[in-house]
Amino acid sequence: MSTAARVLGRAVPEAFAAQLAAAFPRRDGLSWLMARWEPGEDWAPVERWVIWEITPWHALPTADAAYLRMTLEGPNPRDTGHYCGAGRCACALKRNRWTGGRSEAVDYFRQWQVAQEMRTAGTPGFPRVIWIVQGDTGGHPPVMDPISKQLAQAAGLPHEFPSPGDGPYADLDQRVIEGLLHKDRLRDAEGRLRDVSSAELAAEDRDRAQHAADRVLDFILERMSGSVDEAAWLIRKHDSAFIAAPHGTPLEWTDPDTFRQSFRDDCALIAS
């Protein structure tokens, strides 16, 4: 049985690049965004678009910048080592990751590639993926921050976003821009929730925290809406708020208000 070849590279559509630049104008000395195709590896294909944030080295804390720059602008982390997995090596214990290279803890090869590209282009900086383009609503962050994870758990929602490649393929379009803008607008709400540490909140402060939490939860619900591949990512059930379709077909969110009400019932968590 033949397997389709992995798509190793795709050009970013010019129209989308212009949309992204218009929504997030590039300013001297500040972070900026760019889209790139992520093929994954032949042992772990991804084949999804991702959004990278590039932060100029001088904008990072000095100690962090020195170490990260030495690492990401240094030698190829895969000059040595191998992928340790079934059918890939003779190791008795399979680690299912790159091993024997410059970094045993983290395989930062793709990050290294992007850092090299930026240095060659004359725009050196620290690259990190901030958005995975997949699913019906234009994508989501690669991971949930601690506050979002806590709120999602309180509401009975999944507290992890799908891994790259687990959600349905999506093109680069206006939905991606809208998702990134939505996330950007949450900064004040997330900051307010980080400041909530006392159970003895005044009524006004509690109302503000509730509003901020609702905004974060709305973002999570929006990013989770649509469908995900059941075989790749199992969603934890909560009451009857979503319907589990037969095996091999998508799971669809059906009643976001149920999740919101569940969260409000447990909202004391944000003040504990």
Best mean pLDDT range from 95-104, 116-125, 140-149, 192-201: 116-125
Sign for the CA dihedral angle at 101, 106, 111, 112 comes to negative
- Amino acid residing at 223: R
Closest CA to 220 of 134, 155, 133, 165: 155
183-204 confidence digits (pLDDT tens): 998 887 777 776 665 444 455 5
By the 10 Å C-beta count (0-12 exposed, 13-18 middle, 19+ buried), 52 is classed as: buried
Average pLDDT, stretch 135-147? 89
Q: What is the mean pLDDT of residues 96-125?
A: 83
Least confident of 72-81, 207-216, 234-243, 259-268: 234-243
Query: Which pLDDT belongs to residue 95?
Result: 82
Per-residue tokens: 44? 């772990």
- Report yes or no: 64 and 135 within 8 Å, Cβ to Cβ: no
Report the mean per-residue pLDDT for the chain: 76
Whole-number pLDDT of residue 206: 64
Please report which confidence band the pLDDT of residue 172 belongs to, taking 50, 70 and 90 as the band edges.
very high
Instruction: With a cut of 70, say whether residue 121 has pLDDT above it.
Output: yes
- CA-nearest of 171, 155, 169 to 210 is 155
Kindly report the pTM of this predicted structure: 0.76
- pLDDT higher than 70, residue 81: yes
How confident is the model over 43-60, as pLDDT tens digits? 888 999 999 999 999 998
pLDDT tens digits for 217-237? 788 877 876 534 333 333 333
Per-residue burial over 53-68, b if 16 or more Cβ lie within 10 Å, else e, is bbbbbeebeeeebeeb
Closest C-alpha among 211, 225, 227 to residue 259: 225
Token couple for 234: 């199992």
Q: What is the pLDDT of residue 67?
A: 86
| CA separation, residue 48 to residues 146, 163, 169, 226 (Å) | 25, 11, 7, 17
With 80 as the cut, is the pLDDT of residue 39 above it? Answer: yes
Question: What does 21-78 look like in DSSP terms, one character per residue?
Answer: HHHS---TTS-EEEEEEEEEETTEEEEEEEEEEEE-GGGS-HHHHHHHHHHHTSS-TT
**Can you tell me the distance from the alpha carbon of 80 to that of 223, in angstroms, rounded to the nearest whole number?**
39
Is the pLDDT at 73 greater than 80? The verdict is yes
Mean pLDDT for the stretch of residues 202-221: 73
Contact by Cβ (8 Å): 135, 170:
yes
